[in-house]
């Protein structure tokens, strides 16, 4: 692997290793600890940040994967940390179970997704890390450790979201659900009307998300409801449905045509008029939650307290339009329940995640800077796996348990075996 998915972060490690066992992971880390070398882990490389960069050892845990056990009474599963979400989806389904919530992409490993607090949407549902009840990891000296909510209640909340800084996860135990189906209603709405009706829209379904292409008066609402059995629905075939492979291919072509940034508003309006339609989608949980891989693009995302959703979205619209930022990608809006994981962006409060996305490099630094300033105005916390500026943050203020996390980090990784220049910026 030479770079992350977008290609904005090159990997220049000296050793790329796919360990076949926990023992091999421990051996590599112990050696690195003795020699003063660095170790980081990469899964699908779907992070936009330099989190996976290592000048020495870069490990991939694909061989440490699979469902190891399921307690059907407690609804708890033990899985290999390298398991890809797309594989867990099918394996759980075939056994009668499912992950409690999912984001849009299923390429990531379960360890990578949870360690960065990857999330879906649904104000009554937490991010993926909130389902974790125990972890097994290799610490900075190469020793295998086990931590759980039951055995380590005072400190366990440090571990689900740690982006590889407390150790290399080898096994994860997490809460699961009996398998379920989803019925999704897609409906275009006037931007202002949708924002005014947000409380009702969130109350009327289990999972709500919004898609909006800037320079449009219309956005698309996705109202998703859970069901124990498949729900009858009119059969429809739509090549241009926005998450189909064909539509993403057309979108990619339009992005290339739209390198002339003056065309962005017109292209955005065209896509909205063609793709945002009334439609019902029914399927297995992951068939509805997950979508095909989108065209490559820059992506930042901040979680703000949910009560600030309306003013923040109105100001973001005004910011993009008044400064003519050439935002040629969707703005995605999702909602996540509060949790108690120390470094979760949803720590202690229900949040609204607002995305700042753009394809291409032209205009991205300027938009990212303005977007971040706006999100920080509303007490935003950045998604750990997406682009943000560490120097703009005040993490000790944003995260009440920040210093407690650092204390555990010093204990488990005393020589900073798991550090790189990006983590140094975070913890400086």
Residue with tokens 């982006």: 163
User: Which pairs from 401-404 meet CB under 8 Å and 24+ separation?
Assistant: 401/157, 401/158, 401/342, 401/343, 401/347, 402/342, 402/343, 404/155, 404/158, 404/342
pLDDT over threshold 70, residue 234: no
So what's the pLDDT on residue 355?
98
- pLDDT tens digits along 179-198: 999 999 999 999 999 999 99
Residue with tokens 């105005």: 377
From the CA atom positions of the chain, what is the Rg in Å? 21
Say what percent of the chain tops pLDDT 90: 86
Q: For the residues of 133-180, what is the DSSP string, one character each?
A: EEEEEE-TTS-EEEEETTT-TTTGGGSSS-TTSS-EEEEEEEEEEE--
So what's the pLDDT on residue 333?
98
Report the C-alpha gap between 219 and 164 in whole angstroms: 37
Report the C-alpha gap between 59 and 340 in whole angstroms: 29
pLDDT over threshold 90, residue 292: no
Mean pLDDT, the chain, whole residue set: 94
Report the C-alpha gap between 34 and 55 in whole angstroms: 16
- DSSP symbol at 330: P
Quick check: helix, strand or coil at residue 4? Answer: coil
So what's the pLDDT on residue 239?
56
pLDDT over threshold 70, residue 349: yes
Residue with tokens 């800037």: 214
So what's the pLDDT on residue 249?
85
pTM of the complete model: 0.95
Which secondary structure element, helix H or strand E, spans residue 364, and what is its range?
Answer: helix 364-377
Which secondary structure element, helix H or strand E, spans residue 318, and what is its range?
Answer: helix 309-322
Contacts of 10 (CB under 8 A, 6+ apart): 2, 3
Report the C-alpha gap between 172 and 146 in whole angstroms: 10
So what's the pLDDT on residue 250?
82
Contacts of 44 (CB under 8 A, 6+ apart): 5, 84, 107, 108, 109, 112
- DSSP symbol at 3: B
- Binned at pLDDT 50, 70 and 90, residue 2 comes out as confident
So what's the pLDDT on residue 256?
77
CA dihedral sign of residues 21, 93, 132, 58:
positive
Question: How far does CA 266 lie from the centroid of its chain?
Answer: 30
Q: Which structure tokens are listed for 30?
A: 């112990």
Name the least confident of 221-225, 240-244, 286-290.
Answer: 240-244
Note whether 22 and 170 are within 8 A (CB). Answer: yes
pLDDT over threshold 80, residue 238: no
Angle at 276 between CA 359 and CA 287, to 5 degrees: 80
Residue with tokens 């076949």: 20
- pLDDT tens digits along 119-155: 999 999 999 999 999 999 999 999 999 999 999 999 9
- pLDDT tens digits along 313-322: 999 999 999 9
Q: For the residues of 61-124, what is the DSSP string, one character each?
A: -TTS-SEEEEETTTTEEEEETT-BHHHHHHHHHHTTEEES---S---SBHHHHHHTT----BTT
142: left (phi over 0), alpha (psi -120 to 50) or beta: left
């Amino acid at each position: 692997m030479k770079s992350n998915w977008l290609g904005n972060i090159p990997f220049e490690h000296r050793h790329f290793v796919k360990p076949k066992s926990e023992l091999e992971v421990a051996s590599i880390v112990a050696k690195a600890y003795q020699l003063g070398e660095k170790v980081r882990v990469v899964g699908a490389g779907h992070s936009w940040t330099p989190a996976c960069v290592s000048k020495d050892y870069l490990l991939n845990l694909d061989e440490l994967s699979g469902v190891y056990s399921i307690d059907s009474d407690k609804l708890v599963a033990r899985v290999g940390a390298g398991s890809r979400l797309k594989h867990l989806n099918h394996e759980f389904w075939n056994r009668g179970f499912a992950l409690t919530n999912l984001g849009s992409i299923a390429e990531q490993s379960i360890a990578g997704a949870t360690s960065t607090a990857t999330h879906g949407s649904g104000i009554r549902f937490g991010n993926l890390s909130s389902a974790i009840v125990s972890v097994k990891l290799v610490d900075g000296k190469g020793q295998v450790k086990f931590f759980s909510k039951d055995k380590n209640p005072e400190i366990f909340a440090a571990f689900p979201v740690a982006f590889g800084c407390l150790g290399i996860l080898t096994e994860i135990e997490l809460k699961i659900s009996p398998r379920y189906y989803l019925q999704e209603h897609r409906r275009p709405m006037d931007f202002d009307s949708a924002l005014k009706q947000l409380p009702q829209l969130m109350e009327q379904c289990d999972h709500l998300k919004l898609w909006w292409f800037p320079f449009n008066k219309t956005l698309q609402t996705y109202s998703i409801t859970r069901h124990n059995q498949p729900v009858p629905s009119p059969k429809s075939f739509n090549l241009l449905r926005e998450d189909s492979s064909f539509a993403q291919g057309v979108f990619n072509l339009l992005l290339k045509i739209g390198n002339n940034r003056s065309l962005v508003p017109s292209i955005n309006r065209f896509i909205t008029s063609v793709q945002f339609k009334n439609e019902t989608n029914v399927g297995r949980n992951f068939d509805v939650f997950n979508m095909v891989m989108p065209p490559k693009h820059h992506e930042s995302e901040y979680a703000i307290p949910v009560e600030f959703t309306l003013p923040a979205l109105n100001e973001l619209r005004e910011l993009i339009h008044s400064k003519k930022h050439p935002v040629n990608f969707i703005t995605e809006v999702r909602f996540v329940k509060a949790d108690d994981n120390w470094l979760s962006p949803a720590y202690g409060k229900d949040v609204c995640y607002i995305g700042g996305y753009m394809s291409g490099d032209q205009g991205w630094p300027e938009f990212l800077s303005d977007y971040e300033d706006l999100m920080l105005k509303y007490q935003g916390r950045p998604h750990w796996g997406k682009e943000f500026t560490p120097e703009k943050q005040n993490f000790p203020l944003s995260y009440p348990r920040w210093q407690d996390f650092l204390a555990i980090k010093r204990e488990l990784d005393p020589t900073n075996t798991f550090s790189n220049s990006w983590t140094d910026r975070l913890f400086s």
